[in-house]
Structure 1
């Protein structure tokens, strides 16, 4: 694990982050985006887990610049005040940083708020080659999902109750909007919101989490591998 700082066009300036993996042994980069809590130990560990599972070089950007929510109220405040345009630039900066480390292609994956940002960046960040969003969809004014041209593999819970963001109806609406796209797939799991986060005691579903992460790793390896 390496603490890094990379250039970004965000108004907040350079962005810190945590990098896992060895650029000497892999040229596949993966940006891993936080839930609404911030860059906490769980998402840093997820970056490490994905790096080890797929031999990726992963980078978890600290979109909140050092702030980590202690409860739902603070998480809501932090996510609600996030400068989305700036966050998109942070993601672009993260991708460029990984490319500068020797990664030939870079993907993005994220959870909850990070899932929505994954979709938005798939539409807005041309440096990305694939995206795997988890249980989060951006509002229509954030981006036009129909402009997405990179491969997408999306993951949602059938028991997710967050209407307008990640509920099954929202997932299906996203799927309908992406109809006709060559490289698009969406998986539903018998689980609730945040089902891959073991800190989410109410909704964590190990079987679904393991399957979703395995699918993500295979998907990214397929689209990021340079032959």
Structure 2
């Protein structure tokens, strides 16, 4: 590149615009289980920043979870797409996805330990302010981050996107440390009105700072551009909703900005 072109590029595009998000495969351990995650951050940022855990859908740790991590990294966070199944395991059929998710859900002590292992990995990364950790999750992952909040993990904010709401261990008053955001599709067949009522009552009784947003017409997996493909292939009521996706991400962005002063 000649000097004139280089000067033009630097004038028209600030150095911050030229910075690139770094994505790294990471391997960590929980007991005898090897976990395969994906860490994303902007290496042009010098100061330490908040860390965000991203928990995958029931399909497992896949490209979608990684894409959300990179999105958060571009916003100035360090994000870790976690592995809740172990060894980076993924499903390509709903039966397998349901089995993988069910195995985790039936042993919440193990699930909590796996989440904590990811949280520990993220908090000691050289780019992360260890006391500033939040978590988001999708579908299975949305329900999972809500469970971690119920257990009182030291999280600033927890956000569930089209996640499950029922629990066998409701939040106790004074235990939940995180602010809780729930983004739900009003036409999601997997989330019943009674689930919503019970969740709101639970949060109110426990004194949790929370918000619940229902997007009219939105179905399950409304944030995932691949939802229609999976839905059509397996005859599942999944559908991407660009408007609900955009609105929910903007709401998350504003909430994070409010907490971390960006």
Question: Whose relative contact order is higher, 1 or 2, with alpha carbons under 8 Å and at least 6 apart?
Answer: 1
CA contact (8 A) 2:158 2:178 kept: yes
Residues 1:21 and 2:25 aligned together: no
Q: Distance in 2 between matches of 1:132 and 1:176?
A: 18
User: Match of 1:145, SS?
Assistant: coil
User: Match of 1:212, SS?
Assistant: helix
Give the greater-gyration-radius structure (CA). 2
Q: List per-residue Cα deviations over 1:68-113 (Å, max 9, x = no partner).
A: 1111111111111224322211211222222212323100110111
Residues 1:187 and 2:213 aligned together: yes
Which residue does 2:188 correspond to in 1?
160
TM-score (normalizing by structure 2):
0.76
Which residue does 1:99 correspond to in 2?
123
Residues 1:119 and 2:131 aligned together: no
Q: Distance in 2 between matches of 1:64 and 1:194?
A: 20
Q: Which runs of 5+ in 1 are unaligned?
A: none
Q: Distance in 2 between matches of 1:196 and 1:168?
A: 21
The Cα of 1:225 is off from its aligned counterpart by: 4.7
Q: Distance in 2 between matches of 1:224 and 1:34?
A: 24
User: Match of 1:105, SS?
Assistant: strand
The Cα of 1:5 is off from its aligned counterpart by: 2.1
- How many residue pairs align between the two structures? 219
The Cα of 1:168 is off from its aligned counterpart by: 3.8
User: Match of 2:204, SS?
Assistant: coil
CA contact (8 A) 1:154 1:185 kept: yes
State which drifts further: 122-131 or 20-29.
20-29
Which residue does 2:233 correspond to in 1?
none
Give the 5 Å matches for 1:1-227: 1-8=23-30, 11-22=31-42, 24-52=46-74, 54-65=75-86, 66-82=88-104, 83-101=107-125, 102-103=128-129, 104-137=131-164, 139-141=166-168, 143-146=169-172, 147-162=175-190, 166-179=191-204, 181=207, 183-190=209-216, 191-201=218-228, 202-225=238-261
User: Match of 1:179, SS?
Assistant: helix
Q: List per-residue Cα deviations over 1:15-51 (Å, max 9, x = no partner).
A: 2210111474441110000110001111111211222
CA contact (8 A) 2:155 2:177 kept: no
The Cα of 1:139 is off from its aligned counterpart by: 4.1
Give RMSD over aligned pairs: 2.1
TM-score (normalizing by structure 1):
0.87
